[in-house]
Structures are given as C-alpha cells and as structure tokens.
Structure 1
C-alpha cells in the first residue's frame, strides 16, 4: 500500500515540476506549480517516515507552516505585481525596474 502511495506522490511531484518548467509565462501558474510541489512534499515526508517507524508529527506541521508562508508571500507578490504592472506576465518584469 505504501509503495502505491509513494508512486502516486512521485507522479504528482513530477507533473508539478514539469508544469513549472513548461508554464513560466504567468505568475499564477508558477505559484500553482510551486504549491503542487509543496503538496507532494507534504504527502511524501509522512509516508516515508511512517515506513521507517519514525515520529513524524512535528515535521508535517512544520512543512504545512512553510507551505502556508510560501503561499501567502506568493499571493502578496502577485497582487503587488498586478497593481504595479497591470498584468501577471513574467515577461513584463525586467531587472531595470527592480
């Protein structure tokens, strides 16, 4: 049972990374891909720790906290960028404006 869950989580992370590499034009799609990678990590760590009979409660909560911080920072950056530039396209960002 654990092996099938591990394969499913690996496929989820692979699809999220593939989506992150292929869709780099919109900032929202990049954020969604990063959230998929974070979700697969949150699912992978407790499964792998339970296979090794290690305590996993604190690590799972820490990963969820870091995922929530990542999401809030990403959304605030997206709101700031859409208010400043009027779009969420990553092509509109240049190093001269930063």
Structure 2
C-alpha cells in the first residue's frame, strides 16, 4: 500500500514538473528550475523502482551525475545570457541579435 503511494506521488510530481516546464516561458531561471524538478522526480521514481526490483544502484548514480552536469550547463548558459543581455527575460532579446 505505501509503496504505491510513493509511486503515485512521484508520478504526480513528474506531471506537475512537466506542466510548469511547458507553461513557464517568461524567465529562463524558472524553466531551469522546472527541469531540475523533473530530474529529481525521475531520480526518485528510478531509485524506488530499482530498490523494489532488487537491481544495482549504479545506474541511478550515473543518472544523478548526468542530472548534475545538466544543471551546471544550464547555470552556465544562464550566467552567459545575463552577462550579455542584462537579464533572463525572454521578451527582452531576440535570437537575431546574438
């Protein structure tokens, strides 16, 4: 019973993260935060699934490493964008100016 509640809560958090990612189009920081939330919910779902099946947890550690690299890359892009344009608002710049 409790394991199905954990799976359901992980799936609900994944769906909420996707909804925020799709609807957030004003600032880049909100989009990056929703991507990290999606990665966290996928990590939670994978770790519960692998723990239930009795498998190796090395794959989950590789996934966590790639999620951290994705977050660092997103922050580097955010810093580069803020330095070149002054803010992370999507309405303030055009792709033709870059």
After TM superposition, the score normalised by the length of structure 1 is 0.90
Question: Which residue number in structure 1 is paired with residue 12 of structure 2?
Answer: 11
CA drift at 1:97: 2.9
- Secondary structure of the residue aligned to 1:63 is helix
Question: Which residue number in structure 2 is paired with residue 88 of structure 1?
Answer: 88
Question: Which residue number in structure 2 is paired with residue 31 of structure 1?
Answer: 32
Paired residues, what number?
A: 97
* CA distance in structure 1 between the partners assigned to 2:93 and 2:49 by the alignment: 39
* CA distance in structure 2 between the partners assigned to 1:22 and 1:66 by the alignment: 25
Once the two structures are superposed, residues 33-58 of structure 1 have per-residue CA deviations (whole angstroms, 9 ceiling, x without a partner) of: 00000001110111112222322x10
CA drift at 1:77: 0.4
Runs of 4+ in 1 over 4 A off after TM superposition: none
After TM superposition, the score normalised by the length of structure 2 is 0.90
* CA distance in structure 1 between the partners assigned to 2:77 and 2:46 by the alignment: 28
RMSD: 1.2
